[in-house]
Every structure is written in structure tokens, then in C-alpha cells.
Amino acid sequence: MADDPTPLSALRFRFAHALEGVRGPGGAPGPGPYAENLLARWSEPQRHYHTVTHLAAVLGHIDVLEEYAADPDVVRLAAWFHDAVYFPDRSENEERSARLAERALPEAGVSPEKTAEVARLVRLTVTHDPAADDPDGQVLCDADLAILAAAPSAYAAYTAAVREEYGFVPNDAFREGRAAVLRQLLGLPRLFHTPYGAEHWEATARYNLTGELEMLSS
């Protein structure tokens, strides 16, 4: 993985703040070892898009969408775990990430109920299709997909990083698979579920996806 500009100290602080927001202060193990384990996972060499920069971006988007969440700190912990296990050549990353949360969070002092909610949110990132009465799921999914509405240069960097993660896939196969993903996304009735996402990100994301699909098909 190329050098990542995201300040790890800021992320450590953010993890500690979210963990305390979910479990309450005192009477539990310190957040340091858990943050370090997660940051090490997010810094693995097979990652080019799913890096600490992506993690920081998702957390930043959650800040923007915080008013729509029922429990913003639970959503933030779900963001920390949602790609904690990530191998591009495997299909069970979200499930393994959810199971990691189910093991780590009780040890860190999080209640069974909130641990289960974090794991549920992580699993929801398989489909990015939260229910209408699932505000926390809507916030996490919108924050995770916000890159689709990035400015042209940032969107191009995103697609290049995704291609690099799948460098083991031949070009023709990658183009076919990526095009199928784009068609699936464009076929959704809505990409974003929060009012903010629908207003500020939906149109730009569809423009970016359509443009990428046209490039892959040409």
C-alpha cells in the first residue's frame, strides 16, 4: 500500500471517543489495543482503496449525517469494523468483519445489545439496502457509498485504487465484473437513503457511475 496521509493519532482519538460513547467511561479495558489492532488491519498491504483513508472518509461522512442517526457512536463503531477484514479475492469479508466485532466489542466492555447492533450494521454493507425504519443503517450505508458522489479527480482515484486491489483479475474479466456492479447500483431505485444523501449525493453519484460504465463498455 502506498503511504497514507491520514493521521493515525486522530483516528485513535476518534475510536476512543466512539467506544466511550457506546459503553460509557471507566470500568473497562482501555481503547488503545483495540484501536491499534483495527488500524493494523486497515493498513494491510493488499489494500489500495479500503485503507485508513477510506475509514477516515466514512467517519467524516457520518459526522455530516449524524443528525439522522439514532445512535451515532454505534454507527461509528460499525464503520471501524465494516471492512476490518478485507481480502479482495474472498467473498465473506463483511461476515468475517461482523464476527470480529462480535468477539472484540464485548471484551472491550460493550453490551451484548450494542455489540449485536454493530455487527448487524456491518453485515448490512453487503447490500447497502437499509430498511425505511433503519436510520443507523441508512447513515452507515450512505457514508460508505459517498465516494460515488466524489469530484471527478477523486472518483478517478477511487476507481484506480479499486482496480489495483483486483490486480490479480485479468482486464476483460475485471471490466465485465465491474460493469455488472455498476449496472446493479444504477438499477437501484435510490443509492442514498438519508435526506442529505438524496439531495446532495444521488445525482452526482449516478453521473459518475454512468460515465464509468460507458468507459468500461467502449
Residue 24: the pLDDT is 76
Kindly list the structural domains of the chain, giving each domain's residue range(s) and its CATH number in brackets, ordered by start. 8-147 (1.10.3210.10), 148-217 (no CATH)
Mean per-residue pLDDT for 69-91?
A: 97
| pTM score above 0.85 | yes
* 3-class secondary structure per residue, 126-186: CCCCCCCCCHHHHHHHHHHHHHHHCCHHHHHHHHHHHHHHCCCCCHHHHHHHHHHHHHHHH
Residue 1: the pLDDT is 42
Q: For a pLDDT cut of 90, what percent of the chain falls above it?
A: 92
Residue 199: the pLDDT is 98
Tell me how many degrees the CA angle 158-146-129 measures, rounded to the nearest 5.
115
